């Protein structure tokens, strides 16, 4: 099974390591940006809260896709899936 990120033409996922690296990159970048946004405009808290929730939801979806990609690489997975 081929699992792709973002779209039908996105990068092919090989497993969770690729996703973990992307999540780590995002966790390094986003909190600093969010803090700056909140410091500059405290009234943006409600919008910022929604943004944070959305980003973490995306990262959770990416992790699930990575798990699926890694689990389906093994030939046994395809054979087991065909039996059911």
Per-residue pLDDT of 48-81, as tens digits, reads 999 999 999 999 999 999 999 998 887 666 566 6
Can you give the pLDDT at residue 8? Answer: 79
pLDDT, tens digit, for every residue of 1-21?
778 777 777 778 888 999 999
All residues at 6 or more sequence positions from 10 whose CB lies less than 8 Å from its CB, including other chains: 4
Beta bridge partners of 12: 4
Neighbours of 65 (CB within 10 A): 18
Phi, psi at 4, each rounded to 5°: -120, 155
Can you give the pLDDT at residue 13? Answer: 83
Task: Enter the pTM of the model.
Answer: 0.78
Could you give the CA distance from residue 66 to residue 13 in angstroms, rounded to a whole number?
6
Written as six digits, the tokens of 41 are 């405009």
């Amino acid at each position: 099974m081929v699992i792709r990120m973002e779209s039908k033409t996105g990068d092919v996922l090989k497993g969770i390591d690729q996703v973990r690296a992307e999540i780590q990159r995002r966790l390094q970048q986003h909190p600093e940006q969010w803090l700056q946004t909140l410091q500059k405009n405290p009234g943006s808290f409600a919008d910022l809260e929604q943004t944070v929730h959305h980003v973490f939801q995306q990262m959770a979806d990416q992790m699930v896709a990575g798990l699926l990609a890694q689990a389906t690489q093994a030939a046994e997975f395809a054979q087991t899936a065909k039996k059911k």
